Amino acid sequence: MHAFFIASFFILGTVMGSFYNVCILRIPLGQDIFISRSRCPKCHTTLQPRDLVPVFSYLLLKGRCRYCSASITRRYPMIELLTGALFAATYLLSGLNPVLVPNLILISLLIIITFIDLDHMIIPHSLTITGMLTALAWQLTSNHLTWPSLLLGLALGFGLPALLVALGGMGGGDAMLGGMFGLFFGLKYTFVLLMLSFILGGVYSLYVLLTKQKSRKDKLPFGPFLALAGLIMLFFGQQLLLWYGL
């Protein structure tokens, strides 16, 4: 039964990942994500259901549009597989318990936010506010954190990046994402999460500077580092807290 659920969550994840590809493409452009079906960006043919089966359509079409043979970015099946893997991992982490729901929503938001920030250097407030409301709803139904921890987490998660916005290192979307984490994780986790994101971002910046892939003037989106730190905290937070002695 366990293997059945793992496989089911993986498949559900690939289907949702296919939808998240649409979100990543359309939300920053202010387009509707539900009504119209996807089109080929090259020939604008409306895609048929058989063109939209996660991962398989890409493999069967050998990465090309059925109608005009334009190549399809490899990122689509990659995001579908990534979402599948993370959904299965989240099931393994949470089991079939109520906490599975907010955890899957958190994972989903982090995937969408990461790729929108990579593409456009923005984190839409609609996504972080959705995350904040999810975290609050979960808190109200489960009381899994104390309210002081939650509110201090919000203050720290929002406040520290906001301070760096003032210094020019981050954007307002990063502060909103930090605040969202505060409401999901509470004070201690948020503190470690922020430190972790600074370390990840710092190491990566140093790497691209030293290998001359970017210059000092280039801006890097910070959202992906926050999102990665959030993922690490979701799966390994307890161990890391012990490590920090918190």
Q: Which residues bind Zn ion (CB under 5 A)?
A: 40, 42-43, 65, 67-68, 70
For residue 21, the minimal CB distance to Zn ion (Å) is 16
For residue 41, the minimal CB distance to Zn ion (Å) is 8
For residue 25, the minimal CB distance to Zn ion (Å) is 15
- Asked if residue 193 lies in contact with residue 142, where contact means CB atoms within 8 angstroms, the answer is no
| Nearer CB in complex with Zn ion: 44/216 | 44
3-state SS, residue 216:
coil
Q: Do you know the residue count of the chain?
A: 246
For residue 57, the minimal CB distance to Zn ion (Å) is 13
| Nearer CB in complex with Zn ion: 70/163 | 70
For residue 45, the minimal CB distance to Zn ion (Å) is 5
| Nearer CB in complex with Zn ion: 47/101 | 47
Which pair of structure tokens corresponds to residue 150?
A: 């939650």
Rounded to 10 degrees, what is the CA torsion of 51, 54, 58, 64?
A: 40
Query: Which residue type is seen at 1?
Result: M
Residue 213: φ, ψ to 5°? -80, -25
Query: Which residue type is seen at 176?
Result: M
For residue 36, the minimal CB distance to Zn ion (Å) is 16
Which pair of structure tokens corresponds to residue 245?
A: 């002695």
Q: Is 131 exposed, middle or buried (0-12, 13-18, 19+ CB in 10 A)?
A: buried
| Nearer CB in complex with Zn ion: 53/122 | 53
- Asked if residue 105 lies in contact with residue 129, where contact means CB atoms within 8 angstroms, the answer is no
| Nearer CB in complex with Zn ion: 67/198 | 67
Q: How many CB atoms lie within 10 A of CB 145?
A: 20
| Nearer CB in complex with Zn ion: 38/205 | 38
